[in-house]
Structure 1
C-alpha cells in the first residue's frame, strides 16, 4: 500500500515560515523622520494597514502609496487620500511628523486630510526611553 510521506513538506513549510518572519519587519518602508517622544496609548484600530503621511524636517510630504520616496504636494496628498477614504472610510490615517517641522505645517496637513474624508487623523510618536 502506498503512503504519502509528509515530512519533506513540513520541512519546506517551516523554512518558508522562517523566511516570512525575517522579511516581514523589512516591509515597513517610509521616509526617515525624527519623531517626537511622548507617552501615548497605541491606536485601537489595528485591523487594517494605516495610511501614513510623512512630513520631514524640510516640510516635504510623502505618502505610503506607490513610490514612497516621491515628494508630493498638499493638493496631491488630499486627492489621493480622498480616493482611498471613499473606498475604505474606516481606514486609519496617521501623520509621521519630524520634530523639527513647524507646528503650523502639521496642522495644515491634518486639516487637508480631514477635508479629504479622514474621520480622525493620528500623530505618530516615539516612546521616551
Structure 2
C-alpha cells in the first residue's frame, strides 16, 4: 500500500457522487414533467342538455360487390334504408353519412344510394376511398 505524500497535490477527482446526483436530478425531472402533463383534476358541473351537445353518430352505408346495401354493417333493402334514415333524421336532423362502395359494384347502385340521401336532404355525405398504390 502506497502512502500519499503530504506535499503532493491530489490528482484524481472522484466523480461518483456527482453522477449519483445527476441521475437523481434526471429521475426527478422525468417524474415532474410527466406529472404536469396530466393536468388538474376538477369536478365538472352537470348540464341539463348534455345529450344535445354530443356529436351525432355517423351512419355508414356500404354497397358490396354483389350490390347488397348495408347500414352500419346490417343488410337492408333500399326501402328499409330510406325508412331507417328518415327515423334517424327525425331524431337528429343533421347527422353525417359515409358511403362505401366496392370498386367492382355497378355505379348505378351507388348512385341510387346517393339519390336517396339527396331526397332525404342529408347534406353531410362523405365517400370513402382507399389509398392509391404507389408503383
> What is the TM-score with the length of structure 2 in the denominator?
0.53
The runs of at least 4 aligned residues of structure 1 exceeding 4 Å deviation read none
CA contact (8 A) 1:79 1:116 kept: no
Instruction: Tell me the secondary structure at the aligned position of residue 88 of structure 2.
Output: helix
Change (3 A) 1:92 1:48: same
User: What is the aligned counterpart of 1:52 among 52, 55, 60?
Assistant: 60
Instruction: Tell me the secondary structure at the aligned position of residue 71 of structure 1.
Output: strand
Q: What's the offset of the Cα at 1:98?
A: 0.4
Instruction: Tell me the secondary structure at the aligned position of residue 112 of structure 1.
Output: helix
For 1:62 and 1:113, how far apart are their aligned partners in 2?
14
Alignment of 1:29-48 (within 5 A): 47-48=55-56
Aligned to 2:98: 94
RMSD: 1.6
Stretches of structure 2 lacking an aligned partner (at least 5 in a row):
1-54
Q: What's the offset of the Cα at 1:86?
A: 1.7
Aligned to 1:10: none
> What is the TM-score with the length of structure 1 in the denominator?
0.55
User: What is the aligned counterpart of 2:81 among 77, 83, 87?
Assistant: 77
**Structure (1 or 2) with the larger CA radius of gyration:** 2
Aligned residues: 79
CA contact (8 A) 1:54 1:96 kept: yes
